Structure 1
Amino acid sequence: MADLATRARTLLDLHEAPGILTLTNVWDVVSATVVASTPGVRALATASHSIAATFGYEDGENIPLDLHLDMVERIVRAVDVPVSMDLEAGYGDAGETARRAIGVGVVGGNLEDQMKPLDEAVAAVEAVLRAGRDAGIDFVLNARTDAFVRAAPDADHDAVLGEAITRGQAYLAVGAPVVFVPRVVAREDVVALVDAFGPRKLTLISVPGASLPARELEALGVARVSTGPFTQRVALTALQDAATEMVAGGTLPTGTRPLN
C-alpha cells in the first residue's frame, strides 16, 4: 500500500481531475473489497449511517467513536485505494477525531456543519485541515453544509440556497478543497452551486430516482458524487427480495456471483 501522503495526494488529484470522481460508499470489509475490486474504482468512502446500522446504532454519532474507527481501520487495511471517512460532525472535537482517523490510515473525510453558527463551523473545518497538515498530508476534507438537509419544509428555497453558498464559500476560503451539499438534486441548484464555488469544488450524493446521472453532473462541473447509505440499502433490498422469493417457494436469483 502506498504511504499516507501519497494516498492523500492521489485522492486530492482525483477530486481536481477533469472527470467526476464517483465514490460508492462502503460499511465493512466485504463491501469495501467488492467495491475496490470493481474496474474503474479509484477510491472509497465509508458511510457512517451504514456502519452504525451494521452494529445496531442509529445514525448521528450514536455509534461509539472507537467502534466506528475500528471498522474504518479494517476497511483501510483491506484495500489498496485511498479511503475517505464520514467523520459525522466530528464527535465533539473535529480536529482530534480527524487526527485519530488519519492515525488509522484515512486520507479524507466528510464533516457536517449541522447549521452551527458559521464561525464555529469554520473553526471545525480549520481544525480538521490543521490535523492533516500536522500529519504531513493533504487531507481531503469534504466540508458538508446541512443547509438543505435541515431546512424546514416551508423554507424559502432561495434563502436556503443562499445559505448553502455562504457556508460553502466560507469553507473554501479557509482551505477546504471541496464542499458537500446533500439533498441537492435539481439541475438549477447544481448549476448555481458550481457557479458560486467554481468548477470541481462541489460534491453531491446520488439519490435513487431523483439525482442527475453522474455523467450529467460531470458535464455541469461537479467534482464528486457519492452514494451515502443508499448502497447499503441497495444490498439490503436485494437481500429482502431474495428472502421473499425463497419464502414464496422460489429460489435464489440466477446470476448471483461468488464475491466473498
Structure 2
Amino acid sequence: MATVNQAAQTLKALHKPGSPLVLSNIWDTSSLNAIVSLNSESSKPVKALATASWAIAASLGIKDEELTMFQNLEAISHLAPLAEKAGLPLSVDLQDGYGDYIIAAVTAAVEYGAAGANIEDSIPSAGFGKGIDGSLYKLDDQVARLKRAFDAAKAAGAPDFVVNARCDVFRLEDSALSHEARLAEAIRRGKAYLEVGATTIFFWGGPGQGLSSETVKTLVKELDGKVAVILSRQPGGLTTSELAGLGVARISVGPSLYIAALEAIKSKALQMYSGGGLA
C-alpha cells in the first residue's frame, strides 16, 4: 500500500507540460466509482482523481461559499480511502484553505489520504467585485499562506504534497481592470506561487468560453508550462487536445460533470413524463 507521500510523488510526476494530467472532478462515492470504472485491464485513462468543492456543496443543497471546512473534509474522508483502494492519487479542492484554518485543513486532508490540493487566492467573503486589492489575498499574504500549507503537509507526512495554486484574477468582476493588467498580475502571482513550491498555477477563466488560446500561450510561456486550466463547457471552448497542444500541464472540469449529470437526469425524466421511455 502506497504512503500518502508516495501518492503525492506519483501525482506530481503526472503534471507534464504538453502532456497534461486530465482530471474528472468527483463529489461522492457514485461519481468516483463511475470514473474509476473507466479503467480496465487494457486501458487506464484515469491517472488520478480530484474533488470539486462546488459539486460537493451542491450535493448537500448549499452554495460553494457556504460549504464549511468540516463538511468538505467529511466528504474527503469518505473519498480518499476509495481513491487509495483504486490505486489513484487524490487531489482535493480546499477552496482558499479556510482562512486562518489553512494549517488544520491541509493537515486533515493529508491525514485522510489526499496527495494534493487546490488552494485559491480569492477571499470567499469578499466576492469577485472588489478588484485585486479587495477580492484577492495580498500577494505576500498568499505566499505566506501557501508556505504554511506546505509546512503542514510535511508535518503530516507528505513533504511532496502537490499544490495546484489557483489564481482568480481573471474572475474579477471589475470592468476597469484591463485584460493586460489581469495578465500581468496573473504572471506575477504565478511566479511567486511556483517559487514557494506550487506544482502548477490554476487559472479559472471565469464564465463563458474561459481563457483564450493566446492568453494560455502567454501563461504557458511565462510560467514554464506549469499551468492548469479548466475545460469549458461552452461551444467553441478549447478541447483537451487543443490545450495539450498549447503546453498546459493540468486540465480539470470543476463542477461540469455534476451539472452534466443533473441535466441528463432531467432530460430522461422529462422524456418519461412526456409519455416516452428511457431509451
- Runs (4 or more) in structure 1 with deviation over 3 Å come to none
Q: Write the mapping of 1:227-246 to structure 2, written as runs, cut at 5 A.
A: 227-246=253-272
Q: CA deviation at 1:140?
A: 0.5
Instruction: Identify the residue that residue 160 of structure 1 maps to in structure 2.
Output: 182
Query: 2:119 matched to 1:111?
Result: yes
Q: One-letter code of the match for 1:235?
A: A
* Cα RMSD for the two superposed structures: 1.4
> Which of these residues, 46, 67, 75, is aligned with residue 79 of structure 2?
75
The 2-side partners of 1:126 and 1:205 are apart by 25
CA distance in 2, matches of 1:15, 1:95: 25
Given the alignment, which residue of 218, 241, 249 partners 1:223? Answer: 249
> Following the alignment from structure 1 to structure 2, what is the Cα–Cα distance between the partners of residues 205 and 99?
26
- Residue 148 (str. 1) matches residue 170 (str. 2): yes
Amino acid of the structure 2 residue aligned with 1:73: S
Calculate the TM-score normalised by the size of structure 2: 0.86
Question: In 2, are the aligned partners of 1:182 and 1:204 still within 8 Å (CA)?
Answer: yes
Corresponding residue number in structure 2 for 1:131: 152
Counting only pairs closer than 5 Å after superposition, residues 147-226 of structure 1 correspond to structure 2 as 147-183=169-205, 184-199=210-225, 201-209=226-234, 210-226=236-252
**Equivalent residue, structure 2, for 1:16:** 16
Deviations 1:8-38 (A, max 9, x none): 1110011137521100000001101111221
**2:180 & 2:18 partners in 1: Cα distance?**
29
Q: 1:236 to 1:154 in 2, by over 3 A?
A: farther
Distance 1:237 1:154 in 2: 36
Q: Cα deviations across residues 46-99 of structure 1 (Å, max 9, x unaligned)?
A: 000000111111112x22322211111111122321111100011122222111
1:136-189 per-residue CA deviation (whole Å, 9 max, x = no partner) reads 321100001110012424521110111111111110111111100111420000
Residues 14 and 21, structure 2, Cα contact 8 Å, conserved in 1: yes
Q: In structure 1, what is the equivalent of residue 60 of structure 2?
A: 55
CA distance in 2, matches of 1:154, 1:229: 29
Q: TM-score, normalised by structure 1?
A: 0.92
- How far the C-alpha of 1:237 sits from its partner, in A, is 0.6
2:33 maps to 1:37 = no
CA distance in 1, matches of 2:24, 2:74: 20
Report if aligned partners of 1:36, 1:43 keep a CA contact under 8 Å in 2: no
Structure 1: state its 5+ residue gaps: 255-260
Give % identity. Answer: 38
CA contact (8 A) 1:36 1:42 kept: no
1:130–1:211 distance in 2 versus 1, CA, 3 Å? farther
Aligned with 1:15: secondary structure? coil
Does residue 91 (structure 1) correspond to residue 116 (structure 2)? The answer is no
Q: Judge conservation of contact 1:151–1:160 (CA < 8 Å) in 2.
A: no
- 2:183 & 2:17 partners in 1: Cα distance? 26
In structure 2, distance between residues paired with 1:233 and 1:154: 32
SS at match of 2:169: coil
In structure 2, the gaps of 5 or more residues are 40-44, 123-135
CA distance in 1 between partners of 2:156 and 2:64 (Å): 29
Which SS does the other structure have where 2:80 is aligned?
helix
Distance 2:232 2:241 in 1: 15
1:258 matched to which residue of 2?
none
Equivalent pair of 2:17/2:248 in contact (CA under 8 Å): no
